[in-house]
Structure formats: structure tokens, C-alpha cells
Amino acid sequence: MGTRALGLAVAMAVAGFAATASAEDFYAGKTLRIVVGSAAGGGYDGAARLTSRHMAAFLPGNPRIVVQNMPGASGVKATNYLYSIAEKDGTVIAVFNSAMPYYEALGQLGIQFKSRELSWIGAMTQVANVVVVWHTAGIKTLDEVKNREVVMGALTDGGTMGGYPLLLNYSLGTKFKVVAGYNSGTEVNLAMERGEVQGRGSNPWSSWKSTHMDWIQLKKIVPLVQIGLKKDVDLPDVPLLTDLAQSEEQRKLFAFVSAPTGMERPFAAPPGIPKERLTELRSAFDRMVRSDGFLEDARKTNTDIDPLSGPELEKVIGTVMATPASVLQQVRVATGEK
């Protein structure tokens, strides 16, 4: 090897060592905080705590990881915090409702973030959201809701928990009545048990499996329709929303509302964090979700894993944000948004 080539090789090795040492110096002795856009006990909380048990092993410096719940406005509060307030040095990441880009595209009140500017790390899975009713409602199919009013619990008027049922009313003629004002999905679940409401308009099937497998086994919840890019393998006989489209206009409408399910349990950091820090976080996440220990832990908690990388997430978000204005207006009309 010539003197010049040898010098170049040594320089590259020193640079690589310096970069690794720099990352280790940064995270060593530090705490990585995972902010959860929902209350304790739900699927997003479960994803954060699963990550907190494994991600440090894949980050240089092995930081301590803690989970902080920040519920509010279907995840908007936590996403606003991540975008505007959280430290932009790689010590704060968040997991929140995958519908955030959907809410932003619709111009929902209270949105203070730009989805395309967040530092996307990866998503745990691709899922189907389901509209479910409690077994005592006596409803078995979506068609039956065209003839009977069914009361659905929701957090806010603008979230998917209330938005999906309203969209079904507008497009397919169902008679869901949405009662908003609950503070968390857990509260809506309790309201179903108490008989205050008869169903819940949005929750990933994988989340039901991880938090209420007993309800599934005892058939206490009845799934009526799936909102997603593909059917959940557990629900082959439950119709997919996009398959129910009765026109090309409806197909585009249903495709838009289904897109966010392709990025379920998304993790992101604030905008503007150092590029090398985002690279470290993405690499750690990608290796973690494929590691044996993580997958075994996920299996024990009934958590489905079908991950997306950060760049793949950015593509999904780009598709959502590029939705034509005419389709967005149809969604606004359907859900009562101005």
C-alpha cells in the first residue's frame, strides 16, 4: 500500500473511531426520555415500555431510558411538545397516535407541528384499526348499524375514535352516535364495560391483543370494519374499509383515512437534532426490532411487530400530506370539521 493510500486508510479509521467515541461520549451517563402521547396502560404506552427495556443495548453509551406519559387531544399535545419544546439533542423521543399527519393534513385545530419536519426514527408495525362494539350491543355486522343507533365513545370530536364512525355515517349510511370528552382510550374501554357507550371507533387490533386479549377470547368486543392498507391476519372475515367503496371518489377518501395505519406505533425525535444522532437512533431502533430478545418480549405481551424504517415512514407521511384538497374537504364534511 502506498504512503498516500495508507494515510487515507488511517484517516478514515481515526474518523470512524472519533464518530463512535463521540456518540458514546454523548449518551454515556445520560437519560433518554420516551414521551407517550396517551395515558398509561394503552397500546402506545406498551410500545414505549417495550422499547425502554431494549433500545439502550443498541445505543452507544447505553443510556438510561425512562417513559413519560403525556396524554391529551388524541396525541396532539405530546406531538406539539416534541416539535416545539423538547430538547433537540437526541435525549427525547416520542411515540404517539399514527394519525398525526392525517390530523395535520385536515387542518385540525390545535396542531402546532409539521409532520414532515419531525425526525422520524421508525414504526413498530403496520396494522389495521378496527371499529368495535361491545358484545351487549347486539350488533354483529356494519350493515346492522344502518338500522340502529349505536353510541360510540371518543376523546375529542376531531380524532379518529370519533372520526371513523362519522365517516361511516357520511359515506355508508350507518347510524353511529359519537359521545366525545373521555380523557383516554382506557376510559372509553371502561365506559363500554359500564354500559355508558356501546363501542369504540378506533384502536389497532394489535393493541386489543396486547391490552385485552381476554376480551377477544371471550368475544366481548365485536369488530365491524378494518381501516388499513391490508387486513389483519386474525380478521379475514371482517371487511376492509377500502373494499366497501362504492365509487372512485369513495375509494380515494377511504385510501386517505387508511394510510396512517401503515405507520403504527411511530417513534420520532424533534426536528433539527444532529444528523449523526438521528442516524444512531434509527440504527438502534432498526436493530432492536429485529433482535431475538425484543421479539420474544413482544411475543409475551401480544405485541405484533412488522416494522418500518425512518425513511419508509417519511414516504408514508409524504403520501398523506400530498392528498388532494378535494379529498380532504370530503373528510372534513364527513367528520363535521370546518
What are the pLDDT digits (tens) for 221-280? 999 999 988 899 999 999 999 999 999 889 989 999 998 888 889 999 999 999 999 999
Structure confidence at residue 177 (pLDDT)? 97
Q: Does residue 166 have a pLDDT over 80?
A: yes
Pick 128-260+328-335's CATH classification: 3.40.190.10, 3.30.1330.10, 2.40.30.30, 3.20.20.150.
Answer: 3.40.190.10
- Least Cα distance to 170 among 331, 40, 10 occurs for 331
Distance between CA atoms of residues 265 and 95, nearest Å: 6
Residue bearing the bigger pLDDT, 7 or 141: 141
Is there a contact between 209 and 171 (Cβ–Cβ < 8 Å)? Answer: no
Structure confidence at residue 43 (pLDDT)? 85
Domain with CATH 3.40.190.10 in the chain: 128-260+328-335
At residue 2 the predicted structure's pLDDT band, cuts being 50, 70 and 90, is low
At residue 21 the predicted structure's pLDDT band, cuts being 50, 70 and 90, is very low
Structure confidence at residue 22 (pLDDT)? 56
Cα separations (Å) of 329 from 142, 258, 325, 337?
Answer: 25, 16, 6, 9
Structure confidence at residue 262 (pLDDT)? 80
Beta bridge partners of 64: 31
Structure confidence at residue 230 (pLDDT)? 87
Residue bearing the bigger pLDDT, 15 or 94: 94
* Inter-helix orientation angle 275-288/3-27, to 10°: 80
Structure confidence at residue 303 (pLDDT)? 87
Q: How many helices (H) and strands (E) does the chain have?
A: 13, 11
* pLDDT, average across residues 141-157: 93
Structure confidence at residue 8 (pLDDT)? 46
pLDDT digits (tens, 9 = 90+) for 192-214: 999 999 999 999 898 898 889 99
In the three-class reduction of DSSP (H, G, I as helix; E, B as strand; rest coil), residue 250 is classed as helix
Structure confidence at residue 20 (pLDDT)? 44
Beta bridge partners of 66: 33
* pLDDT, average across residues 28-53: 94
pLDDT digits (tens, 9 = 90+) for 278-289: 999 999 999 999
Q: Does residue 16 have a pLDDT over 80?
A: no
Domain with CATH 3.40.190.150 in the chain: 3-125+264-321
Structure confidence at residue 23 (pLDDT)? 53
At residue 17 the predicted structure's pLDDT band, cuts being 50, 70 and 90, is very low
Top CATH class, 3-125+264-321: alpha beta
Instruction: Determine phi and psi for 122, rounding to 5 degrees.
Output: 165, 165
Mean pLDDT of the chain: 90
Structure confidence at residue 59 (pLDDT)? 97
Structure confidence at residue 24 (pLDDT)? 60
Flag the least confident range among 96-105, 139-148, 170-179, 286-295: 96-105
